[in-house]
Structure 1
Amino acid sequence: MNLQELGWNAERENAFRGMGIEQVWPGRIVADHGHKYRVVTERGEGWAEMSGRLQYELSERSEFPAVGDWVALRFLSESDCDAVIHGLLPRSSRISRRAAGSVPVEQVVAANVDLLFLVAALNMDFNLRRLERYLIMAWNSGASPVIVLSKADLCEEPERYVAETESIAPGVPVIAVSALEDLGREQVDALLKPGVTVALTGSSGAGKSTILNWMAGEDVQKTQAIREDDSRGRHTTTHRELFVLPQGAVMIDTPGMRELQLWDDEGGWSEAFGDIEELAKECRFADCRHQHEAGCAVREALQSGQLERKRFENYLKTQRELKFQAAKEQTRQRSVRAASSSKNGRQEPRGKGEQRRRYASDWE
């Protein structure tokens, strides 16, 4: 196996050598099955688990290996492809969401992704407000978003939907595709360059696995028909997995989400609503809340029709959600540090000593 085909490069080689771990080989996580991972190395594909020491050192569940991660492996024998994970290389990007449950926990969907395909079907389930949420996640991840409008064969005017999508995603490529009619293949193919890692995300039934099979030229993932009465999909993909495409890129397919719950904000919110943020700079007051203040450029844009009210409402809603999420995470971190300090009789570094939790995934 040539690791360069999976995205290995000189920068990662230097990071690997700088880890200072002896008798280890580089590999990439290609599938996540919970406590076991499928990994690819120069020897081939095998199974791997984390060493006990590594599990102890990783204080947060989000620091555990994810699909797309590059890891340092020690093989079980001279001829074996199975191995133990002794370290993780730094991530160039991490696609995160909040996991299900009342306790805020980060769930890493995929790591080291270059392009994030946000897949939305052109059927009854098409929703611009949902796409805005996915754009926040994409901009926060460090990956570059691409919006893929699938199932264009079901839509009489795909150009209209492309224009509507471009209006809420300035600067983001928007591609209408149909695997059935081979529409949009050239545009997608042009992005699948050797060494590039692409991840697919979106609702169940959006057509992610179909796009993967289409680009791969064969059925590498199972697909199912959606419910025709409401255009809602049924769960097909059960875990995240990475595939090498004939074009030279690698593609990560992920299970569909019931609902995208946002995690921490690293500037993605402002990027996703860049047009509103630009308008806000023209407000008379720097701390304008865009409610009843005089000289509010945002409200003027709403009144003139320049700014869509539903987009503005989603702007406020996601802002409140991210602030609330950040407050809950700060409270959790304080509780963890207090419990750790009480248990050990001394103050420990932030996040250390936390009891790792299992949490139920809300992938469909």
Structure 2
Amino acid sequence: MKRNERKDFHEHFSKQMNEQEQAGRVVRSTHGIYSIATESKTYTGTLSGRFHNEITENRDYPAVGDWVIFQPYDNNSKALIQRILQRRTLLSRKKAGTGNEEQIIAANIDAVFIVTALTKEFNVRRLERYVQQVYESGARPVVVCTKRDLCDTVSEKLWQVERVAPGVPVYAVDSLTGEGMVSLLTEVNEGETISLIGSSGVGKSTLINRLLHKEVQATKNVRESDERGRHTTTHRELFELPEGAFIIDTPGMRELQLWGDQETTAGTFSDIENLSQQCKFRDCQHEQEPGCAVQQAIAEGELEAERLNSFNKLKRELHRLELKDQYGTHRTNRMLHGPNKGKIYPS
């Protein structure tokens, strides 16, 4: 692959490799087997022994969207992955469970389409968490509301999204008929990579089929009782769109446990952050302090109290994650819930 042949191969990656090295992009990952695409063909790849021995944590493994250096073998039909080129962006979450492990969702993405349905599944608190994680990744968030044909209050729900995701583009579409897709395509730019995230049953596979203009992803009906879907997509995979962009489909998420730090909440909760600048005290906790602009906005109906509760909850969750990363799970629990709450225990 010549370095300027792939539209998604940025100069950022070109600077990290030698002329003799061969690079390709991971377009599919399943149980340690990787599909690596170049301009001319796709290889079935595995990790080289040296690379595997150098891995110390989950994020060291290749992910869909990664650019990797590989060595072809077996008559140029297979490949040994030697290393990952430094990522530009990384979308991840905390792995389910009580541990403190990161789970990679996609790498080197420019935008993330947060997909939600305008039905019973619609939940603005969940959207806040998705937006938070996208800002943490370094990509730009876009909210895509599907199944608009099943909703009689589209405008009201879009307004609710705009309230909890200030400045984030929001689109309502019907993936089956194509209604709203023309507007959404303004977010699809040549050479960029988009990742889809969202719960099961919100219509991610139907949306990707519409964007690709062909049936590449299987779809299933949701349960009528709770409108929850089954995991139609069971792995992550990258596709090229007709517009010259690239899109990564991901399995549906039952929950999104945050991964990152507290700094990125400024983007997700820019409304609260802006109000905080008007508080009388710089360290205002927005509780009972006099001159609190946030509490005043709530009293005047300009800000929902639930929005502040969500802000505080996410800050606590990210703070706990930072402590667990620094001190471990056991010591963090003692610090937050033990008889000496707040005390930093020595190593």
TM, length-normalised to structure 1: 0.87
Aligned counterpart in structure 2 of residue 66 of structure 1, from 59, 63, 67? 63
> Cα deviation per residue 1:72-123 (whole Å; 9 max; x = unaligned)?
000014x423101101111110001000122100111000000100000000
Rounded to whole Å, the distance in 2 between the matches of 1:66 and 1:110 is 6
> Cα deviation per residue 1:13-40 (whole Å; 9 max; x = unaligned)?
22223xxxx8531000001112111111
Q: Is the 8 A contact 1:140 1:266 kept in 2?
A: no
Rounded to whole Å, the distance in 1 between the matches of 2:316 and 2:329 is 20
Rounded to whole Å, the distance in 2 between the matches of 1:211 and 1:65 is 26
Amino acid at match of 1:13: S
Q: Is the 8 A contact 1:28 1:41 kept in 2?
A: yes
Q: Which of 1 and 2 has higher RCO (CA within 8 Å, sep 6+)?
A: 1
Range moving further from structure 2, 108-117 or 287-296: 287-296
> Cα deviation per residue 1:200-232 (whole Å; 9 max; x = unaligned)?
000111111111001111111111111122111
1:151 Cα shift? 0.7
User: Which residue in 2 is equivalent to 1:151?
Assistant: 147
Rounded to whole Å, the distance in 2 between the matches of 1:208 and 1:108 is 19
Amino acid at match of 1:151: K
Aligned counterpart in structure 2 of residue 24 of structure 1, from 12, 21, 26? 21
Over aligned residues, Cα RMSD in angstroms?
Answer: 1.9
Amino acid at match of 1:218: K
Rounded to whole Å, the distance in 2 between the matches of 1:234 and 1:176 is 23
* Cα 1:83–1:150 shift into 2, 3 Å: same
User: Which residue in 1 is equivalent to 2:269?
Assistant: 273
Q: Is the 8 A contact 1:30 1:242 kept in 2?
A: yes
Amino acid at match of 2:93: R
User: Which residue in 1 is equivalent to 2:198?
Assistant: 202
Q: Is the 8 A contact 2:99 2:329 kept in 1?
A: no
Structure 2: any 5+ residue segments left out of the alignment?
A: 332-347
1:161 Cα shift? 1.4
User: Which residue in 2 is equivalent to 1:13?
Assistant: 14
Aligned counterpart in structure 2 of residue 104 of structure 1, from 100, 103, 106? 100
TM, length-normalised to structure 2: 0.91
Rounded to whole Å, the distance in 2 between the matches of 1:4 and 1:301 is 53
Rounded to whole Å, the distance in 2 between the matches of 1:334 and 1:15 is 40
1:269 Cα shift? 1.3
Amino acid at match of 1:65: P
Rounded to whole Å, the distance in 1 between the matches of 2:6 and 2:214 is 19
1:325 Cα shift? 1.0
Residue identity (%): 43
User: Which residue in 1 is equivalent to 2:176?
Assistant: 180
Structure 1: any 5+ residue segments left out of the alignment?
A: 336-364
Rounded to whole Å, the distance in 2 between the matches of 1:65 and 1:266 is 26
User: Which residue in 1 is equivalent to 2:35?
Assistant: 38
1:56 Cα shift? 2.0
> Cα deviation per residue 1:302-343 (whole Å; 9 max; x = unaligned)?
1111110111110111111110111111124999xxxxxxxx
Q: Is the 8 A contact 1:153 1:181 kept in 2?
A: no
* Cα 1:332–1:49 shift into 2, 3 Å: farther
User: Which residue in 2 is equivalent to 1:350?
Assistant: none
* Cα 1:101–1:186 shift into 2, 3 Å: same
- Which residues in structure 2 correspond to 1:163-312 (within 5 Å)? 163-265=159-261, 267-312=263-308
User: Which residue in 1 is equivalent to 2:336?
Assistant: none
Range moving further from structure 2, 55-64 or 121-130: 55-64
Q: Is the 8 A contact 2:176 2:206 kept in 1?
A: no
